[in-house]
Amino acid sequence: MSRGEEAVACFGDIKGFTEGGQDLYIRMAASELDHLEKKRHSSKKKLIAFIVGSTFLVVGMTIVALVSFIWKKKLRNQEMTKRNQRKDCDNGGGKNDMELPIFDLAAIANATDNFSNNKLGEGGFGPVYKGILPDGRYIAVKRLSKNSGQGLNEFKNEVILIAKLQHRNLVKILGYCIQENENMLIYEYMPNKSLDSFIFDQTQSKLLDWHKRINIIHGVARGLLYLHEDSRLRIIHRDLKASNILLDNNMNPKISDFGLARSFGGDQIDSKTNRIIGTHGYMSPEYAMHGRYSIKSYVFSFGVLVLETMSGKKNREFCHPDHDLNLLGHAWKLWIEDRSMELIDELESDLYTLCNVLRHIHVGLLCVQQKPEDRPNMSSVVRMLTNESLLPRPRQPGFFTDPLEAVPSSSKHATCSVNRVTITLLEAR
């Protein structure tokens, strides 16, 4: 034991130091020694607490920074996804081709009560649901079905085309949603649903007097005139039918469902396809038989719609005890026999209204003539519907009988077959 150790051992009040290689011993009171020891331990604790606190602070800041980075990355990915969705729906077009807002899936699910108990109907695209936005606006949500005959191309086509169209007789699209394998179109809500739910229902048809029916025909004609001649693009609908005419609160018509529509160039007058798309009973002969279509092809569809609205009968489902003609053939037969009054729905009217109704039947027959060149264009149709000038004599309509009988097939179809949906026929050429 050294001298210093002996001194400390003997005297608890001696503190040893080393200075310049020399041992130095100082006698101190025991209380001061305890104070120094406590101070040393306290400093050690503070150092440990500082180190631990600093460590926690660094770790916390690292975690916050990491969470912030992940969150910002997620937001960037979401924004990039939305931009890609816009670009994808733009189908390679310019910046001005997309002018529609994107709706969030959660917002649409909330607006439609998670797509439950509010289904308005279902078409070739998929089911349509009624919803209400937080601002109180009612909407119609068309949701692409996984089993739909139409697909993403038709979805994109509808978004691109209808976004560029603005007319009082075209349904207004509010936006779209592409998220989590969902593809949805959001439209303004039409409280009176579609034209077919009125004219083909014995009870509902009584709510459509002649004035309302004529107003609907004129509205559809104006909408088609806009598509064919007055819009930024020359649009042909390719699936014009009663179920695609929606009615607003005042029974004003709006053309809907542009998934199958196509645009023509300024000088283009017709086109040809191997993919026959449309609804039997509304397709023109040149399109159904040869895949050739033009603006006049859909003047034919409009003519069918006019005769259905006036008669309250479906072209494809029409049956008569005296013959096997479809509605077009029956209307033609009555016209050449000067008995067109027998075609119309039994609604009360005065003589002037009946003459106006017969004029609309006459225009309908002009629109469904066999040859496209014999049919009027929509500007002529609108003039003929709205003035009292003399009308030319119509020629025999196309598809004088059931159109399917004119198409070669391995199976025989009944004259009064039912066909309510859009169909696609693929024919080799």
Residues β-bridged to residue 183: 178
Annotation says 230 is catalytic: no
From start to end of 45-161, where are the E strands?
119-122, 127-132, 138-143
b/e map 236-254, b = 16+ CB within 10 Å: bbbbbbbbbbbbbeebbbb
Of the residues 23, 34, 97, 239, only one is catalytic, namely: 239
Q: Do strands 119-122 and 127-132 pair parallel, antiparallel, or not at all (unpaired)?
A: antiparallel
b/e map 163-201, b = 16+ CB within 10 Å: bebebebbbebbbbbbbeeebbbbbebbebbbbbbbbbe
Measured distance CA(273)–CA(50) in Å, rounded: 80
CB atoms within 10 A of CB 417: 12
Q: What is the 3-state secondary structure (H, E, C) of 344-356?
A: CCCCCCCHHHHHH
How many CA atoms lie within 13 Å of 256's alpha carbon, on the beta-carbon side? 29
Q: In 3D, which of 402, 183, 374 has the Cα closest to residue 314?
A: 402
Measured distance CA(201)–CA(162) in Å, rounded: 30
Distance of alpha carbon 391 from the chain centroid = 40
Residues assigned a catalytic role: 239
